[in-house]
Amino acid sequence: MNIRLRKLLARFLLFSVLSGLGLMSMNLVYAGASEVLSGSRAASLDSCVIPDTDDMRRNHMELLFHKRDQTMRQGIRTYGDNEVSLNGCIACHAAKDDQGQYIPVNEEGQFCQTCHVRVAAKLDCFDCHRTTPETN
């Protein structure tokens, strides 16, 4: 085998092992820590509106895209306690501070921000969307 091909192969192997390790450690973190914050409504529930938490972690953005187009373009709005929408996510996952005030979900250590910082995915949603449940 020529030397350049060998080098290329070695690099590829190294890359696969390293990225594999990276992904594994991410999964470990996911499995170990719970992003569900005590004091949020979610903490008192058995499961999310999507019961498969891993699925939700990986695919929530697809669900949100789907819902956003339905809501905005087709006017399909869902209401009630189990509101399946970004507002519903926020209503359930926002934690409260010592004064009983809601903490924005995109603040450091809060539900959305924790994972997004880890995976370095910018949280664009909250440039426009409200970050706490509306109380009034």
Cβ proximity to another protein: between 46 and 127 the closer is 127
User: Where does the chain show beta strands of DSSP type E?
Assistant: none
Q: Which residues of this chain interact with another protein, rule CB under 8 A? A: 68, 70, 72-79, 87, 90, 104, 127-131, 133-134
Minimum Å distance from CB 87 to another protein? 5
Minimum Å distance from CB 36 to another protein? 21
CA distance readout (Å), 73 to 40, 61, 67, 82: 31, 18, 10, 22
Output the DSSP codes for 101-124.
PBPPTTSTTSHHHHHHHHTT---T
Cβ proximity to another protein: between 42 and 88 the closer is 88
Residue indicated by tokens 């519903």: 88
Minimum Å distance from CB 93 to another protein? 14
Minimum Å distance from CB 57 to another protein? 22
**CA–CA separation, 64 vs 68, rounded Å?**
6
**Single-letter residue type at 103:** I
Cβ proximity to another protein: between 80 and 100 the closer is 80
